[in-house]
Structure 1
Amino acid sequence: MVSSSFHQEGDYLPPPSFQSYEEIKRARDKETREIAKHSWQLNEAHDKWVLETTALAVKHVKSERGTAPAHFVFFLMGSAGRKEQGVFSDQDHGIVFEGKDDIYQEYFLALGAEIREGMAVVGYPRCEGKVMASHPRWCHGKENWKAQIDQWVKEDKWAALRHLLTFIDARPLIGKRKLLKEVKDYVFYLVEEEPYLLTRLSQNISYLHQGVNAFGKLLPDEKGPYAGSLHIKDVGFFPFVHAMRLLAIKEGVHETSTLDRIQKIEEIYPFAEGKENSFKELLKLRADFAEKQNSYNDVHYIPIDELTKTQKQRLKSALKEGKHLFQQTKKLVESGE
């Protein structure tokens, strides 16, 4: 089995432990159901299976195109980058390599495509928005990555700034971690030099889905396939995720998981204190229904009628804490303090 510790040791990538993506999928499916109700173990397992898939992809591309022509780092974004995946998860990833795009990008796009297809076989659907290392937007040399970020900032449009927010959740999985760190440090530098940028990023996530009405009643979907269920990701996770991401950018925090960010941020901003337990409650609540989740969309919904009285109370409390954290963060950021 490929060790998840190797990614801290530079570029070395051990040979894959499996001969095919189908073999990895069978092993993954078996283990996933055994640990589905344990969020931390589940995310460690996701890392392991993506590592195995990537190792096999590197082997395939090496046999066709030769050894990678430059040092690189393969990173995860989205819920994978934050280590907040449920039983099912799609793909969000990218590559930073040393050297220029016009010399090396073709090779690494091919590697990204092989990883994309391998992950699809293993059970991670392709990202509909093409946020994958197989797309030129998410596969650059280090300096070209900085130019890409400059372009997003210059455009100053909703989609471009959303790309930047997505990138901030990037977490290295294999390769030369320093490459990703240098690119993210460049983002932190830009925000420090141009404080208005943080305000623009905050405005990009101004809308907050309501999970509880003025009378303290939970607000599930009223129609459709998930009628009676609450979108736990939109109304529960995102207020915490968005707030901690903004404050991580403001303070130059490299940690990507929301829980790790809270631990760092609460030392600086008292209004973030205690929010860790509320976010853990939401992760646990989603995990409690893992056995009933049979698709990627299922992961995002919690059936309200199946909650106990205690679960409902804890859910309402967590939603309230998330809303408060979100509002306080936006107030702080947009005041320019």
Structure 2
Amino acid sequence: MDSPKAEKRWPDIDCAGNLEQLKTAREKGQRRLEADFFSLPVEEAIAALNELHDALIVRVLALAENDLARSGFGAPPVPYAYMLYGSGGRLEQTMHSDQDSGLVYEDARDEAEEEVNRSYFLKLAETAVEYLIAIGYPPCEGKVIASNPVWCLPLTGWTKRIAGWFAEPSWENVRYLLIAADGRAIWGDAGLANQLRSRYFGDLLGHPVIERRMLDNTLHHKVLVGVFGQLLTERYGENAGGLDIKYGAYIPMVNAFRLLAMRAGIQETNTLRRIDALLGEGWLNPSEAEETREAFLLFLKLRHFTSTTMEGGRLVGTGKLPASKLTKEMVAPLKKALKVGKNIQRKVQKELPIRLGGGRAK
């Protein structure tokens, strides 16, 4: 199958014939990017890194299809799309991101065909996930992954699943709906993914109760800056004196702009593109857009200073900036950026209920 976006920048990846070669190509590519990462503009460096991840995942899927065919499973029986969620869906992965994925395939004509399709695509998803683990991508701890039958469905199955999440607005279902908003097709039939997204956004407009629950979920993670502008660093343990960049800076802004974009009917998944689109739709003024863009770019950069830990023989990012890397030169711009993030959270908290038809939030 064809990828929605052909990559020409990584010939070692395109030519890799097995997982060992692909793992070597990843390590080589990341070393190359690490050497230039902090000399490039942040947006350019992040884009290059995510092109690398996309190329690796696309090659894994090609190898998985080929290996299934050689093993007697044949070619994909119907068109499908492999989806990325989380930072992959947003094109915001770090060097050590995990797998967040799903798979949607075309509806069958009858039950017998559906059983064939279901069996094939679960096997394909399991194979792809296993291969990605082998080259250094750990699976999502929350089981948002294509090898989980919940996230590997035909189009009508996805439609019913999403309708069920909308019908029962539990915290977990709202979390799944927010995750689904970041879905991006990386391989296969992008038209299927577009149909899924169109149905998703159509359902969203008819569920104001869900939107209010999404607001609660969105504001769950607070920006780590105090009332006097001080950094709210870790107080205890091995990370004492450090700052949780992932959940105290980056994720709060991701969440805020995702919800604003969803309410505005903007289907972009990348946060910077969401900011630009919100400016164009009048949800942000030019000053807000400029400040938030600058703040978010700083958070994207600082995520690459965060520490890592070894889990299952693989390096995994902690999302936490160690005290040793929190330099004096970094503190002032970080405080400024965190204040911008806090202001955006306040904007969402105050303005979104009004746009939803309710009163101003207290």
What TM-score does the superposition give when structure 1 sets the normalisation length? 0.90
Higher relative contact order (CA 8 A, sep 6+): 1
CA shift at 1:286, angstroms?
A: 2.7
Query: Which of 88, 97, 109 is the aligned partner of 1:80?
Result: 88
- Describe the shift of the 1:237–1:94 C-alpha distance in structure 2 as closer, same or farther (beyond 3 A): same
Q: Are 2:78 and 1:59 equivalent residues in the alignment?
A: no
For 1:210 and 1:76, locate their aligned partners in 2 and report how far apart those are by CA, in whole Å.
Answer: 26
Q: For residue 21 of structure 1, what is the aligned residue in structure 2?
A: 19
Question: 2:97·2:317 contact (CA, 8 Å) conserved in 1?
Answer: no
Q: For residue 10 of structure 1, what is the aligned residue in structure 2?
A: none
CA shift at 1:277, angstroms?
A: 1.4
What aligned pairs does 1:1-337 form with structure 2 within 5 A after superposition? Answer: 5-6=5-6, 17-36=15-34, 37=37, 38-64=45-71, 65-100=73-108, 102-267=115-280, 268-270=282-284, 272-274=288-290, 275-287=292-304, 289=305, 293=308, 297-335=316-354, 336-337=356-357
Question: 1:16·1:55 contact (CA, 8 Å) conserved in 2?
Answer: no
> Match for 1:5: what amino acid?
K
CA shift at 1:294, angstroms?
A: 5.7
> Match for 2:47: what amino acid?
W
CA shift at 1:319, angstroms?
A: 1.0
CA shift at 1:208, angstroms?
A: 2.9
Query: What SS is found at the alignment partner of 1:96?
Result: strand
Structure 2: 5+ residue stretches without partners = 8-12, 38-44, 109-113, 358-362
Task: Report the identity percentage.
Answer: 33
Q: For residue 111 of structure 2, what is the aligned residue in structure 1?
A: none
CA shift at 1:204, angstroms?
A: 2.2
Q: For residue 41 of structure 2, what is the aligned residue in structure 1?
A: none
Structure 1: 5+ residue stretches without partners = 8-14
Deviations 1:143-170 (A, max 9, x none): 1111000111112101111111111101
Deviations 1:116-136 (A, max 9, x none): 000000100111221111111
Question: 2:14·2:55 contact (CA, 8 Å) conserved in 1?
Answer: no
For 1:208 and 1:78, locate their aligned partners in 2 and report how far apart those are by CA, in whole Å.
Answer: 16
Number of residue equivalences:
327
Deviations 1:51-108 (A, max 9, x none): 1111111111222200100001111000111111111011001111101454512211
CA shift at 1:297, angstroms?
A: 4.8
> Match for 1:273: what amino acid?
A
> Match for 2:65: what amino acid?
V
CA shift at 1:199, angstroms?
A: 1.4
What TM-score does the superposition give when structure 2 sets the normalisation length? 0.84
Deviations 1:215-273 (A, max 9, x none): 32212212223222111011111121011111221122221110111110122212542
What is the root-mean-square deviation of aligned Cα atoms in Å? 2.2
For 2:101 and 2:239, locate their aligned partners in 1 and report how far apart those are by CA, in whole Å.
Answer: 29
> Match for 1:68: what amino acid?
P
CA shift at 1:141, angstroms?
A: 0.7
